[in-house]
Amino acid sequence: MNDDIEGAADNLARAFALAAGRAPGHPALVFVDETVPYGTLLQQVRRAGAGVAALRRDGVPPRVALSLGNHPDLLVLFFGIVAAGGIVGLLDPKWSEAQTAAALDTLRPDLHLTTEAAAAWIAGQPVDWAIPAVDPKTPFLVGFTSGTTGRPKAFIRNQASWLATLEASRGEFGIGPDDIVLVPGPLVHGLGLYGAVEGLSTGATVRVQPKFDTTDAAAQLAECGITTLVVVPTMLVGILDAAERDGHRFPTLRRVVCSGAKLAPAVHDRLAALCPDAAVLEYYGASELSFVSLRSSREGAPADSVGRPFHGVELSLRNDDGNPVERGRPGTVWVRSGMLSDGYLGTTDGAGYRERDGWGTVGDYGWIDEEGWLRLVGRAGDMVITGGLNVYPAEVEATLRAHPAVAEAMVFGLPDPYWGDALSAVVWWRGTERASLADLRSWCQERLEAYKAPRRVFAAADMPLTGSGKIARADVRERAKAGELEVVG
């Protein structure tokens, strides 16, 4: 074990480096046909760290922008930048030139590396570099999130916040050196990046796909001894479709870590058929807040909840005046933990993350029942006002997903001369099952207030996704508005 690693007590890269020192020959990364041992990966991280450290001027943390796809070099550079006390700016290589230019203008990096340039840059750096201690309040990550308005915002995280996040997830997820973690989604997005970093920080083996492929992911889960899957719901459904089509089961899978949206009840049933012993760990969070709550399949949480507070998290539900509301009453979800972000970089529109007296919120609305389970109703920017009444789409979407014929649903408002906005929904059918508008409205009215039943329903055959694997809501809404989707009558 290297003395310089032991001395870097407050460095976010220390846990990974210690894992590499304990088992340098253990597989760290598996990428297509390439297996990278921990010792080799640490050597590459040292090179990257040396190069970043050389960029420091007058004690100012260097900023490095990365426009890389899923590749080991992205994780080498991430740990190298973090180890050197620099700031990682994650740019999606699928962005347009204009989007990339806007992000670079916000970040103003000292170095911008692309997939084509990364390997040569790493190879040109010295390897005899000692990992230093870092002030835990040092910013280390700038990521981009659309927040509540669709306008990208650059949120900032410091090292202490991710050290707290890693500690919290270690207790909740229990990933360790014996685990093999599959991260099939993009590493430039929060879930994929954190899943890979968490695995490497615990000494686990992390498997990464160059591009999300349902058939390959299902085959890996069936054949490669994978114990942990880190995925968003839409990707999980695709993997299940491929597994059922190809006759796969997941015999070694112990846990499915999922975030981004609630899983439909039918997805839980399908998972149980393929891997009955696997725990399903759905967490609710945000880029600016990190973990907020956890719903574990082993804890008996109500199906319509997002679970109980995550380890190290306090929740406060508050009214518009900022005062706490009683249990069972709706309010804005405020969070206090050591995992909160440092806000946004550059100018913003005032929407999204807010912080007050150590508590933070992104404007989500919900309520806590008498047993402490949190239910989400929606987000302030997503609210639909129909006939003068407020409707949060997330509540209606969850109800529609529970219908036997509905695999996925999206709810929104469409302009209407009478209602102002007519509550509308797009559904994706489950297999060959279908339902009528009257059936879907009745289903919702039996479970919600009558005005929360969609007045218009459309059916879509395909599901456009964002780069992070979530439904591309703006695209779907425009297709419905333009009359390009089937009307459910």
User: How far, in Å, are 104, 116, 129, 382, 428 from residue 98 at the CA level?
Assistant: 10, 20, 37, 26, 33
Residue tagged 């599959």 (tokens): 182
SS3 310: coil
Residue 252, SS3 per DSSP: coil
Q: How far apart are CA 38 and CA 23, in angstroms?
A: 7
Number of Cβ within 10 Å of residue 344's Cβ equals 19
Q: Is the pLDDT of residue 24 over 80?
A: yes
The answer to whether residue 3 scores a pLDDT higher than 70 is no
Q: Is the pLDDT of residue 7 over 60?
A: no
pLDDT band of 263, cuts 50, 70, 90? confident
Mean of all residue pLDDT scores within the chain: 91
Q: Residue 377's pLDDT is what?
A: 81
The pLDDT of residue 59:
85
Sequence-distant (6+) residues with CB within 8 A of 282 are 258, 259, 262, 263, 294, 295, 296, 306, 307
Question: Phi first, then psi: what are they for 37, rounded to 5°?
Answer: -70, 160
193 contacts: CB under 8 Å, gap ≥ 6: 78, 90, 187
- Spell out the residues 6+ positions from residue 134 whose beta carbon is closer than 8 angstroms to its own: 8, 10, 11, 12, 85, 159
Mean pLDDT on 222-230: 98
| Superfamily (CATH) of domain 383-487 | ANL, C-terminal domain (3.30.300.30)
- Residue type at position 367: W
Q: Is the pLDDT of residue 248 over 90?
A: yes
CATH of domain 3-313+336-349: 3.40.50.12780
* More confident site: 378 or 86: 86
Report residue 148's pLDDT band, with 50, 70 and 90 as the boundaries: very low
pLDDT for 1:
41
Other Cβ atoms less than 10 A from the Cβ of 6: the count is: 13
Q: Which residue has the tokens 């000692």?
A: 130
**Interval 17-35 mean pLDDT:** 96
> What mean pLDDT is predicted for residues 113-129?
94
Average pLDDT over residues 329-345: 94
Query: CA-to-CA distance for 157 and 138, rounded, in angstroms?
Result: 9
CA angle centred on 185, ends 181 and 187, rounded to 5° = 90
pLDDT, tens digit, 9 for 90 and up, residues 173-195 = 999 999 999 999 999 988 999 99
Q: Quick one: tokens of 40?
A: 């080799």
pLDDT score of 318:
95
- Spell out the domain ranges in the chain: 3-313+336-349, 383-487
Q: Whole-prediction pTM value?
A: 0.84
Sign for the pseudo-dihedral over CA of 248, 254, 258, 262: positive
**Which stretches within 128-251 are classed as H helix?**
159-173, 190-201, 214-223, 233-246
Q: Residues of the chain with pLDDT > 70: what percent?
A: 95
